Structure 1
Amino acid sequence: MDRTEEPVSLPWDRFSSWLHCVCVVGFDLELGQTVEALYPPHAKLTDKEKTSICYLSFPDSNSGCLGDTQFCFRFRQSAGKRTSLHCVNDQTDRDSPVYLKKDPACFYGYVYFRQVRDKTLKRGYFQKSLVLISKLPYIHFFHTVLRQIAPEYFERSEPCLEAACSDIDRWPVPFPGKILHLPIMGVVIKVRIPTRYDKPGTTQIVELTQQLDAQISVTLPTIHEVDLFRCFSPVFFHIQMLWELVLLGEPLVVMAPSPCQSSETVLALVGCIAPLKYCSDFRPYFTIHDTEFKEYTTRTQAPPSVIFGVTNPFFAKTLQHWPHIVRIGDVKLAGDVPKQVKVKKLKNLKTLDSKPGVYSSYKPYLNKDEEIIKQLQKGVQQKRPTEAQNAILRRHFLELTQSFIIPLERYVAGLMPLLKSVCAWKSPPQLKPFSLEEFMKTLEKAGPQLTSRLKGDWIGLYRHFLRTPNFDGWFKIRRKEMTQKLEALHLEALCNEDLLFWVQKHTEVEAVDLVLKLKNKLLQAQQEHLPVNSETLEKLQHHVDSIIQELPEDLQGILLKTTHS
């Protein structure tokens, strides 16, 4: 099948490749928050998942969110029902960057909450949330989709939701690298999902003909990114330290006035180490009703490696023992330069009305980058557009992460065995083990000083990083890629051998054994999507067929059955 060719879709197949379901959560005076509607009707959610969605879909009562509010949450999927939704999703995952892959253990919830005064209701308020539940971390994209659906839904109710779901079920599947036109509620959204082959930091929107563009209502330059500058502006002077805390997987809680600020700040933190994937848990919006509340707030053990955002003042008391707390106030960026907010010791976080700032006793490994601070301050003074400020900050984080990761990439590439050690008649050679001390020795000549102007204890930062889930996750992916590359090189070596000549010198039993081994190799190449070109696979299949032709007829019949079944 061509890589971009679409298979025949059954009803709701395409919908399932984007969303698990759409929920309407309302408020009942006797029952509290309840799921009032679920689309498509056959969508399955456990009672525990429904409870999580109900509590996470409404802002905390202290937030006082009047009008329309959008935010995002993430919650654990119930164990025992984690299945692949769609074979095409496997390709979506395979070609996506690591930070955009589906999360096998969690769902994302994208919320559009409306609270308006309504004297006809007993409570005096209309309160309802429209929630998109998905495995995909396409933050910006799904919030844009909600802005098209939710206002219409609140005005016209059920029929409008059915129409929106039908629109989504006609969308092409989310193939990375392709320009997609996605009609929804009378408008067309144009997006491109990044691929793992894109150069980090680039946005690749291909220009289409004007005839097509005339039909486009919304073009999204990004499907997943949040506005980093807006999120970090309240703690502007500590971006360096926050980058280190996220890189090292430190326990971090964001206390914010609203779920919108809470979720955006957590997502900005998780995204600031891109293209590295943040491998620990994170909860953009977390409530006291969460099933993991006790697990995360217990004082009997050290806080786990997790970033979560909260709005309830109760957490200020419950989480005083946490090592790093970021408190966000109401963001007012009316052209003023953000004031320098010092890092405060945690003992100062006693009252519920504590001032915005970073509460931590962490001492950063690297010196502060004064240049980026000055550049962004100047931008605020000159009223530089927020998009430009965001781009500057994003590029800063990207360069910082790349400077940090390049020495690791270079060292790990050296763990590959030499090409001459790949032999057709032996199993593929093993990767050399990762040695912390050997890696450290490489830093003197090929460390981050080659690409970064920042001074500080880089060695200490690496030693700490190599003990974190972020390193384990990164190395696991790199080791898998390199092992697959060795398997692919082994396949190519087999293809270049004269296998028929070998068969003529060996017994029938050995020839049959070779056919079965080659068949397993072909199956592995297909199932694991090894980096092998189709010509190599065709050549190997031809070798298999040629060897079978040389064998007695009874064996031919058996082997042809097993090789083509």
Structure 2
Amino acid sequence: MNRASSLKLDPCSRPDLIALRRWVVAFCIIRFDLEQGQVIEECFPPASVSQDEELNVAFSSFPDSMSQNQNSASIHDCMFFFRFRRRGTAPDALKAQEDSVPPDTVRPLNVETRSNVDNSDVVSSTGDDGNDEGGSGGWTNSSVLSALASVLSPRSIGGESSGKQVFDSAELHNSPPVEHPHLSEDHPPAMQRVGSQNASGTDGNDFLYGYVFNRQRQDQRLKRGGEQKSVVILTRKPFSSVFKPLLQILGPLCFDIGKKALDHVATFVSRWPSPVLGELMDLPIGSASLKAYLPPACSLTSDYGSSYDEFVSAMAPFPPLNHSIPQGLFHEADLFGMFRGIILQIWMLWELLIIGEPMLIIAPTPSQCSEAVACIVSLAAPLPCSVDFRPYFTIHDHDFSHLNSLKEGDQFPPMILGVTNFFFLKALRSIPHVVSVGGSVASSSKTPMAARSSNGRKQDQQGLQLSSLKKFSPSNLIHAVKMRRDGPLSLMTEHKEAVWSTYQPTTKPDTAVLNRLVDAGVTPRVEESMSVVNNEILRRHFLELTTNFLAPFGPYLRVTTPSEGTSPFVEPPSLPSFHTHEFLGNLSERGPGKFLSKRMRANWLDLY
């Protein structure tokens, strides 16, 4: 197949490097050399990242030895992505184009007032009984959610508060930032958005995403019987719905025509319009076209650096829930397909994410662990994920030395780490929650959906456990006891989907939601279709769950609207002061509301 024919360009065409930066930082081709290790053969544009970042990219772009053993095909392609903290300063001239907001300033925060709303109101699309999962409703405002995310943002790995917002050069036409005079000690430090820089001079909260197309080829004529090479897209934008399809074009094309593919694809990408958050974008690439929804501005992490216009646009109330419009980051991740083996544990994973607990996600391959991390992050919608997440984490990441130095009793920073190397099970013993997903056993140990009776009525939740009871045997019992005794280290002898945690969740698995999930068919096409349906059911449920959980915080994030004729130079109104004991006392008296009371246990206040 000649893929190059669909990407024909005028011989004089050259990519606009400034415009390219709206989407991509760099394209890389990385080869694994037997003598030198990982070698970056090509980086376009040249010198787009620092030397420290080059090393991180090179080491993160290949599966480790464990995941390589899972494959026996002569040619094996896989795709995954990683995320790492930026370090150092890129030497290229374009770096000067990446202007940013001064570190100790913020955009003014004006939250639209909604009157006559009791703070015990519940955001629900279910009606009074809470059994229906459609429609929309409630007072929730996405700017409230965006502001709340910064309030709840846990400290970064180095103990720093939330970093400065970074803006693309194309967005600098907006009004200049002003210092906010009302963010005092009454508000958590994260709310103040005080920027801080690390020793390298780079914002400690600025991250790069790397989308990887890796090819392993077995050939007995070569040393060690094979070779492998990776094609990587480096970007500051967590737009998996765009970069995964783009990588499916770029990866094979690089193996067909070599480094010329980078220049061809860069030219097309530089002609794309600027990203419009929350909208469907049509992005031409040769004779093809990528159609993808971008996540809304309110769901993006602080390192993305949304412009002021994007932030203001997030003030409009949420539109009615739509099956095709993403409400958060990584909306396209296969939530059901990745966690169907531990389907009853998703509610606990949601809680751990909401309260900022560290998690270690281990899987046989980088594709599986990065997809699992994306799925967990997507559960935060419509909030941005304030926890530092690493879809594919290796021992070569600069942050590993800090994590490995933590002593017993030290608090592990709020992170979600996706790994494939069993070494992390021993090196990071202090991490309190370990989740094992993926593997060849996934297809044979899938948890069945709740059974239905012949008349279609939903049966008791105990039906979820019937198949596991039927499979009871002494050997299974011994195996279960061994897994409990050895903990996550039991994965070193046999991979199995499981969750190890001492956390007692407050939220109960929703039987109504589980009963609506459709069991997958026997063919991959049918299974994929069923996953799409099931993903929508799960996402709508957790979107409602998150919004209802946030409802009591609403009054603390609404300010009085300035009266008509007020001078624009007057200081903006301050947010109400937040006092923890007062908040919990009032919440205890009012209760969690209908939606949450049906889905949480008696100790629901502990979650707050």
TM-score (norm 2): 0.64
3-state secondary structure, aligned to 1:249 = coil
Verify: 1:27 aligned to 2:32, yes or no.
Answer: yes
For 2:521 and 2:323, how far apart are their aligned partners in 1? 24
Instruction: Describe the shift of the 1:124–1:410 C-alpha distance in structure 2 as closer, same or farther (beyond 3 A).
Output: same
Report the AA paired with residue 510 of structure 2: D
Aligned counterpart, 1:176: 277
For 2:585 and 2:334, how far apart are their aligned partners in 1? 38
Verify: 1:397 aligned to 2:542, yes or no.
Answer: yes
Deviation at residue 337 of structure 1 after TM alignment: 3.7
Structure with bigger RCO (C-alpha 8 Å, 6+ apart): 2
Aligned counterpart, 2:584: 440
Deviation at residue 433 of structure 1 after TM alignment: 0.8
Verify: 1:255 aligned to 2:362, yes or no.
Answer: yes
Q: 1:386 aligns with which of 531, 538, 546?
A: 531
Contact 1:72–1:284, Cα closer than 8 Å, also in 2 = yes
Verify: 1:193 aligned to 2:202, yes or no.
Answer: no
Aligned counterpart, 2:54: 50
Instruction: Describe the shift of the 1:270–1:103 C-alpha distance in structure 2 as closer, same or farther (beyond 3 A).
Output: farther
Worse-matched range after superposition: 80-89 or 108-117 = 80-89
Aligned counterpart, 1:243: 350
Contact 2:334–2:535, Cα closer than 8 Å, also in 1 = yes
Deviation at residue 280 of structure 1 after TM alignment: 2.0
For 2:505 and 2:375, how far apart are their aligned partners in 1? 19
3-state secondary structure, aligned to 1:18 = coil
Contact 1:149–1:161, Cα closer than 8 Å, also in 2 = yes
3-state secondary structure, aligned to 2:397 = coil
Aligned counterpart, 1:459: 605
For 1:259 and 1:403, how far apart are their aligned partners in 2? 34
For 1:76 and 1:451, how far apart are their aligned partners in 2? 38
Verify: 1:353 aligned to 2:493, yes or no.
Answer: yes
3-state secondary structure, aligned to 2:351 = helix
Q: Deviations over 1:385-440 (max 9, x none)?
A: 11101111111111111110122124432xx2475699659755433211223323
For 1:151 and 1:234, how far apart are their aligned partners in 2? 32
Verify: 1:140 aligned to 2:241, yes or no.
Answer: yes
Alignment of 1:53-132 (within 5 A): 53-64=57-68, 65=71, 67-79=76-88, 83-84=98-99, 86-89=168-171, 105-132=206-233
For 2:563 and 2:580, how far apart are their aligned partners in 1? 26
Alignment of 1:334-373 (within 5 A): 337-338=447-448, 347-351=486-490, 352-354=492-494, 355-373=496-514
Report the AA paired with residue 460 of structure 1: D
For 2:25 and 2:422, how far apart are their aligned partners in 1? 33
Alignment of 1:304-319 (within 5 A): 304-319=413-428
3-state secondary structure, aligned to 2:607 = helix
For 2:253 and 2:206, how far apart are their aligned partners in 1? 32
Identity, % of aligned pairs? 34
Deviation at residue 325 of structure 1 after TM alignment: 0.3
Instruction: Describe the shift of the 1:160–1:442 C-alpha distance in structure 2 as closer, same or farther (beyond 3 A).
Output: same
Q: Deviations over 1:499-529 (max 9, x none)?
A: xxxxxxxxxxxxxxxxxxxxxxxxxxxxxxx
Aligned counterpart, 1:374: 515
Report the AA paired with residue 88 of structure 1: A
Contact 2:340–2:447, Cα closer than 8 Å, also in 1 = no
Alignment of 1:278-317 (within 5 A): 278-300=385-407, 301-317=410-426
For 1:203 and 1:377, how far apart are their aligned partners in 2? 17
3-state secondary structure, aligned to 1:278 = coil
Aligned counterpart, 1:36: 41
Instruction: Describe the shift of the 1:435–1:422 C-alpha distance in structure 2 as closer, same or farther (beyond 3 A).
Output: farther
Deviation at residue 160 of structure 1 after TM alignment: 2.3
Report the AA paired with residue 47 of structure 1: Q
Deviation at residue 170 of structure 1 after TM alignment: 1.2
Worse-matched range after superposition: 122-131 or 222-231 = 222-231
Aligned counterpart, 1:538: none
Report the AA paired with residue 350 of structure 1: L
For 1:356 and 1:133, how far apart are their aligned partners in 2? 31
Q: CA RMSD in A?
A: 3.5
Deviation at residue 224 of structure 1 after TM alignment: 5.2
3-state secondary structure, aligned to 1:49 = helix
Contact 2:52–2:88, Cα closer than 8 Å, also in 1 = no
Deviation at residue 173 of structure 1 after TM alignment: 1.3
Instruction: Describe the shift of the 1:377–1:226 C-alpha distance in structure 2 as closer, same or farther (beyond 3 A).
Output: same
For 2:538 and 2:87, how far apart are their aligned partners in 1? 37
Contact 1:345–1:361, Cα closer than 8 Å, also in 2 = no
For 2:588 and 2:411, how far apart are their aligned partners in 1? 35
Contact 1:255–1:328, Cα closer than 8 Å, also in 2 = yes
Instruction: Describe the shift of the 1:346–1:307 C-alpha distance in structure 2 as closer, same or farther (beyond 3 A).
Output: farther
Instruction: Specify which structure has the higher proportion of helix.
Output: 1
Instruction: Describe the shift of the 1:106–1:194 C-alpha distance in structure 2 as closer, same or farther (beyond 3 A).
Output: closer
Verify: 1:321 aligned to 2:430, yes or no.
Answer: yes
Worse-matched range after superposition: 356-365 or 445-454 = 445-454
Q: 2:20 aligns with which of 15, 26, 43?
A: 15
3-state secondary structure, aligned to 2:234 = strand
Deviation at residue 230 of structure 1 after TM alignment: 1.2
Over alpha carbons, which structure has the higher Rg?
A: 1
Instruction: Describe the shift of the 1:192–1:63 C-alpha distance in structure 2 as closer, same or farther (beyond 3 A).
Output: closer
Aligned counterpart, 2:250: 149
Instruction: Describe the shift of the 1:451–1:23 C-alpha distance in structure 2 as closer, same or farther (beyond 3 A).
Output: same
Deviation at residue 15 of structure 1 after TM alignment: 0.8
Aligned counterpart, 2:109: none
Q: 1:408 aligns with which of 545, 553, 559?
A: 553
Instruction: Describe the shift of the 1:379–1:90 C-alpha distance in structure 2 as closer, same or farther (beyond 3 A).
Output: farther
Contact 2:31–2:38, Cα closer than 8 Å, also in 1 = yes
Report the AA paired with residue 55 of structure 2: T
For 1:421 and 1:172, how far apart are their aligned partners in 2? 37
Instruction: Describe the shift of the 1:446–1:111 C-alpha distance in structure 2 as closer, same or farther (beyond 3 A).
Output: farther
3-state secondary structure, aligned to 1:400 = helix
Instruction: Describe the shift of the 1:442–1:190 C-alpha distance in structure 2 as closer, same or farther (beyond 3 A).
Output: same
Instruction: Describe the shift of the 1:184–1:86 C-alpha distance in structure 2 as closer, same or farther (beyond 3 A).
Output: same
TM-score (norm 1): 0.68
3-state secondary structure, aligned to 1:451 = helix
3-state secondary structure, aligned to 2:509 = coil
Instruction: Describe the shift of the 1:91–1:391 C-alpha distance in structure 2 as closer, same or farther (beyond 3 A).
Output: farther
Q: Deviations over 1:143-169 (max 9, x none)?
A: 110001111211111222211111111
Report the AA paired with residue 206 of structure 2: A
Report the AA paired with residue 75 of structure 1: F
For 1:60 and 1:327, how far apart are their aligned partners in 2? 17
3-state secondary structure, aligned to 1:296 = helix
For 1:422 and 1:363, how far apart are their aligned partners in 2? 53
For 2:572 and 2:172, how far apart are their aligned partners in 1? 26
Contact 2:330–2:375, Cα closer than 8 Å, also in 1 = no
Contact 2:506–2:600, Cα closer than 8 Å, also in 1 = no
Report the AA paired with residue 52 of structure 1: N
Instruction: Describe the shift of the 1:192–1:238 C-alpha distance in structure 2 as closer, same or farther (beyond 3 A).
Output: closer
Report the AA paired with residue 82 of structure 2: F
Report the AA paired with residue 16 of structure 2: P
For 1:297 and 1:104, how far apart are their aligned partners in 2? 20
